Structure 1
Amino acid sequence: MTNVPQTQAAPTPGRLRSGALSSRHLVFFVLSAAAPLTTMVGFVALAFLIGGIATPSGYLIAGLVYALFAVGFSAMSKHVRNAGAFYAYITLGLGRQTGAAAALTGYAGYALGEVGFCAAAGLFASSALDTIAGVQVSWQVCALLIGALVGVVAYFRVSVGAKVLAFLLLCEFAVLGALIVAIFIQGTPEGYSFDSFNPSAWESSALSSLFVITFIVYIGFEQTAVYGEEVKDPERMVPRATYIAVGLLATVFTFASWVILMAIGPNALGDKLQSGDPAMLVFGLTHEYLGKTMTDTMQVLIVTSFFAGVLAMHNAASRYLFAMGRAKLLPAGLAHTDPRSGSPITAVIVQAVFLLGLLSIFAMSGADPYTQVVIWMSTPTLVAVLILQILTSVSVIRFFGQRPGTTDHWRGLVAPILSTASLGVVLYLICSKMSVLTGLGPLGNFLINVPLIAAFVGGLIRSLYLHRQSEDDLEEALVNEVEGQI
């Protein structure tokens, strides 16, 4: 096994800077993509509308499913180190064609999701400027400025972005923590109840539809593997960061949604949602428990929360482009890195151009920023990530099945089988209940996912073409630095 240096190594052409990140940084990237404050403010009310008092259970079940996934994923991560993340795992387990298809699908998901997150950031920034400062700036202008700023931050060394995300995350958790503490100190109208976790509550709720919302918070799960080439001692730190991230996400969203439910009162939840704007639910609670100043602060932090999510997705999409350029799935120029920072600068710039270009098209078309841009762009991200996670679980089974004795049966077989089955059921439920999130019919839901289908088919075709050119180069390029010949 090759020893990984513990200090930052100078970048080499076609390689990212190794040793630039720690497991702490990886956790920050995952949590930033989940956007905890944004999820609590923007999605928990929708989750309550769909799932009622069972909403905390929805977040908990999602966490348990991803804990299963993490078992096999972490075991295999000790043998894979590639900026392409999931698709490198899929290539190792299922072959070059499936890996190439997964690569383009993953990129499409992250690239579209970044556009949606950036539009949402622009929308909330416009609202915050108007509410707090009395300055009216269109969401389009705000979104484009945020997109440009993300491109600038992503251009620099990856550790710079990690520090920015760390600061923003601490601010988010500070506000959420203050609200939770205030609720416990001041008390709740109906006391405290754990009926949310009683299976009888699931029967009266649309739990399957609720998964459309609760699984969204885990779309950044892949971040731990995306930075596999840039982290110190990846064999230890990627699994560690994965388990920490899953534990934190499950705990934060389950606990925070339960506390918010208690602050409203389970019996009063329906009336509360019907009597006012659900989107203002958490803002109203913050004003009630913490006052106007903290509510205004929360409005600002919603914008920074979305910014953090956009940056995390931009980094992921850029590294997919970089890895595909190195693998010759896309032009080789995308694999160019900055000689000083080791950042994949060409991929970062290309992704920034894509982001700003698509945002400009939406801005000029007069599209609604939330019901069209945010929803249409973000929904395929969830579908793409679930597809990649299912394929990764299957890859884990096949990878360790071909290498008996490399790991135990729980990590290499049982947990991945359970993960594959669970994620498969979730993907089916989300696809069948997609209209709950999008408001579209079957045709509309199909059309917004066409980019994923095109990417998957395009990846297959491209890999077949490259296979004719070279029998072995593609697979070797797709999977960089695999441990020995295990």
Structure 2
Amino acid sequence: MAVEEPPVRRATRTTADDDAPPPRGSLGVAHIVFFVVAASAPLTVAAGGIPQSLAVTGTTGIPLVYLLLAAMLVVFSAGYAAMSRRITGAGAFYAYVSHGLGRVPGVGAAFVALVAYNAMQVGIYGLFGFTTADFLDAKFGWDIPWWVVVFVGIGLVGILGYLRIDLNARVLAVLLVVETVTVVVFDFSSFTSAPDGISFDPFTWDALTAGSTGAAFCFVMASFMGFESAALYGEECKDPKRTIARSTYIAVLVIGVLYAITAWAMMTGAGTDKAVAAAQENGPNLVFVLGEDQIGSGFSDTAQVFLITSLFAALLSFHNAVARYFFSLGREQVLPRALGRTHGRHDSPYVGSLAQTALAFAVVAVFASLGKDPMATLFNWLTNLGALGVILLLVLTSLAVLAYFRRNGRAVGESSWNRLVAPVIAAVALGFVFVLAVRKFGVLLGVDSGSSLRWILPALVIGAGVVGSAYGAWLRTARPDVYARIGRGPQS
């Protein structure tokens, strides 16, 4: 894929000047879709997300859940896209909530976003370290601790995050195409070799309501993580008023349809009535076991390599998202001003990138020093925590869209669907999903009802919002100049 190469400037910006221009606009719809879909990691979902949702929830309607959530997020995207045509900033949720609900809730949303995206990104390192170390041991006999692999990965992601966005787009494009082709090959082989024939039962009401339906919605929601991140690159788009909306719609539809088909194919390949048992027995290896039976050992080995690159792509995409939140908050001096610096040559939010790299290193070091299992704790705890945070942000953003357009009257070019009907439906539907997520969080973590973790981890998300809002209220009285900048982006 050809990517436009902007001219390189020789001067390096080393201060967070309020009037400093944002990163250059060089990204189109295709670039943004690559970032968004790469964050959802198709092969990672096929190997981890789908088998895990089947095994834990016992719900055979997982393919239907993907379609229902995709439809829900398309509705959400109507109001989200309308906001993106009026507000362009690297803060995304933070900026939208600030403009819609006010600066104090906006800072609360920013803190929730920082917790959610950092948790998701660092959590994925657990799966990356476990998978890569296991592969190296099985294929080459290299007994390398998982945390050593993770530290190498953190270094590579940090380097790419420091460099300009064009390089990252190329890397993600290659990795995404490779893993998507792998998933499509698996889907085709599963349908053609179906031991019990192809059944449409996974799309029925009975299948949807079997098992723990609420937990199933929560699991599947995690697969959509990152779909909303198109707005994070608003200042780097060639035409943000069109690019963000189109990228978001395309990404939601691609993710929803692809994963619904893949879940259906996996169940078909295992036998619809046997799929839950197969997922419980094989876990993340189910896609490789089925692939080896249907295609051969060569596919299984290749798919495992592509799973590692899939995880790397997701790590890189979430790293970029976190760096841009740091950049936005630093530029407006809500967080230390240094985080708002951009590199003069690469145009990357390099200080925010370095901060995220250091944070990931520190969290992984703590888990490693305590001897924690990278899958059962680092991956499982933090990715579910991240998903819960994003669900809350979706609800807040839907309410912000309603409030914004109510204050600004009948916005030119925006239908009542975009500014009223869709946000109401999205707020109610996603609010219901959030309540289910909190109630079923013990199922998500695989702990019993008496475990304190089922409340401690959700409290981190809600607590971040409370602390952020309190900090925003403090800024209103103690630092009114900073308070006035909140959510206002490059114009602040």
TM-score (structure 1 length as normaliser): 0.93
Matches within 5 A, 1:210-225: 210-225=216-231
Taking only aligned residues, the RMSD between alpha carbons, in angstroms, comes to: 2.0
Task: Indicate yes or no: 2:215 matched with 1:209.
Answer: yes
Stretch moving more, 421-430 or 133-142? 133-142
CA distance in 2, matches of 1:325, 1:244: 31
Specify the alignment match of 2:136 in structure 1: 129
1:388 paired to 2:393: yes
Residue in structure 2 matching 1:446, options 450, 455, 459: 455
1:278-357 aligned at under 5 Å gives the runs: 278-357=283-362
Distance 2:208 2:151 in 1: 42
Deviates more, 1:242-251 or 1:261-270: 261-270
SS at match of 2:255: helix
Give matches, 1:223-234, under 5 Å: 223-234=229-240
Partner of 2:426: 419
1:107 counterpart = 2:118: no
User: How far apart, CA to CA, are the structure 1 residues paired with 2:212 and 2:199?
Assistant: 20
Partner of 1:24: 30
Shift of residue 18 of structure 1?
Answer: 2.6
Counterparts of 1:271 and 1:314, CA distance in 2? 35
Q: How do 1:242-257 residues align onto structure 2 when only pairs under 5 Å count?
A: 242-257=248-263
**1:410 matched to which residue of 2?**
417
1:197 matched to 2:211: no
The answer for the alignment partner of 1:3 in structure 2 is: none
Which of 238, 244, 256 is matched with 2:244 structurally? 238
Q: What is the CA-CA distance between 1:378 and the residue it aligns to? A: 1.4
Q: Distance in 1 between matches of 2:48 and 2:365?
A: 24
Is the aligned partner of 1:161 residue 2:168? yes
Percentage of pairs with the same residue: 32
Aligned to 2:155: 148
Partner of 2:272: 266
- The one-character-per-residue Cα deviations of 1:358-391 (angstroms, maximum 9, x if unpaired) are 1111111101111111112112211111111111
Aligned residues: 476
Which residue of structure 2 lines up, in the alignment, with residue 82 of structure 1?
89
How far off is 1:203 after superposition?
2.9
Query: CA separation in 2, counterparts of 1:299 and 1:359?
Result: 23
Which secondary structure does the structure 1 equivalent of 2:452 belong to? helix
Deviation of residue 461 (structure 1)?
2.6
> Out of 378, 398, 405, which is 2:403 matched to?
398
Check whether the contact 1:15–1:337 (CA below 8 A) recurs between aligned residues.
Answer: no
The one-letter code of the counterpart of 1:40 is A
**Partner SS for 1:56:** helix
Q: Which moved more, 1:424-433 or 1:204-213?
A: 204-213
2:477 counterpart letter in structure 1? R
Aligned-partner residue type, residue 321 of structure 2 = A
1:278 maps to a residue whose letter is G
Q: What is the deviation of 1:482?
A: 7.8
Query: What residue identity is the alignment partner of 1:412?
Result: R
State the shift of 1:153 in Å.
0.7
Q: Which of 439, 459, 468 is equivalent to 1:459?
A: 468
Code of the aligned partner of 2:342: T
Contact 1:77 1:239 in 2 (8 A): yes
Find the aligned partners of 1:371 and 1:35 in 2 and give their Cα distance: 20
Q: State the alpha-carbon separation in 1 of the partners of residues 195 and 397 from structure 2.
A: 46
Which has the larger displacement, 93-102 or 173-182?
173-182
Letter in 2 for 1:375: N
Tell me, in whole angstroms, the C-alpha distance in 1 between the residues paired with 2:385 and 2:439.
14
How far is the alpha carbon of 1:95 from its aligned partner? 0.4
TM-score (normalizing by structure 2) = 0.92
Question: Structure 2: how far apart are the matches of 1:47 and 1:357?
Answer: 30
Residues 267 and 456 of structure 1, relative CA distance in 2, 3 Å threshold: closer
- Once residues 290 and 354 of structure 2 are traced to their aligned partners in structure 1, the CA distance between those partners, rounded to angstroms, is 41
Q: For residues 396-435 of structure 1, give each alpha carbon's deviation from its aligned partner in whole angstroms, at most 9, with x where no partner exists.
A: 0111111222121111000100000000000011111111
Q: CA separation of 1:414/1:481 partners in 2, compared to 1, >3 Å: closer, same or farther?
A: farther
Say whether residues 1:374 and 2:368 are aligned partners. Answer: no
Cα pair 2:46 2:287 within 8 Å, conserved: yes
Q: Structure 2: how far apart are the matches of 1:289 and 1:208?
A: 33
Mapping for residues 50-89 of structure 1, pairs under 5 Å: 50-89=57-96
Distance 2:279 2:89 in 1: 45
Match of 2:488 in 1: 479
For 2:38 and 2:454, the matched residues in 1 are separated by: 27
Give 5+ residue unaligned stretches, structure 1.
Answer: 1-5
Whether 1:48 aligns to 2:47 is no
Mapped partners of 1:381, 1:265: distance in 2: 32
Question: Which consecutive unaligned segments of at least 5 residues does structure 2 have?
Answer: none
Seen in structure 2, the aligned counterparts of structure 1 residues 385 and 175 have a Cα distance that, compared at 3 Å, is same
Change (3 A) 1:202 1:467: same
Alpha-carbon distance, 1:273 to partner: 4.1
Cα contact 1:383–1:427 (8 A) shared by 2: yes
- Matched with 1:182 is 189
Distance in 2 between the 1:151 and 1:25 partners? 20
Is 1:434 the counterpart of 2:441? The answer is yes
State the shift of 1:108 in Å: 1.3
Specify the SS of the correspondent of 1:229: helix
**Who is 2:43 aligned against?**
37
Q: SS at 1:330's partner residue?
A: coil
Q: Distance in 1 between matches of 2:237 and 2:33?
A: 12
| Residue 200 of structure 1: how far off its partner (Å) | 2.6
Report if aligned partners of 1:45, 1:281 keep a CA contact under 8 Å in 2: yes
Shift, 1:316, TM fit: 0.9
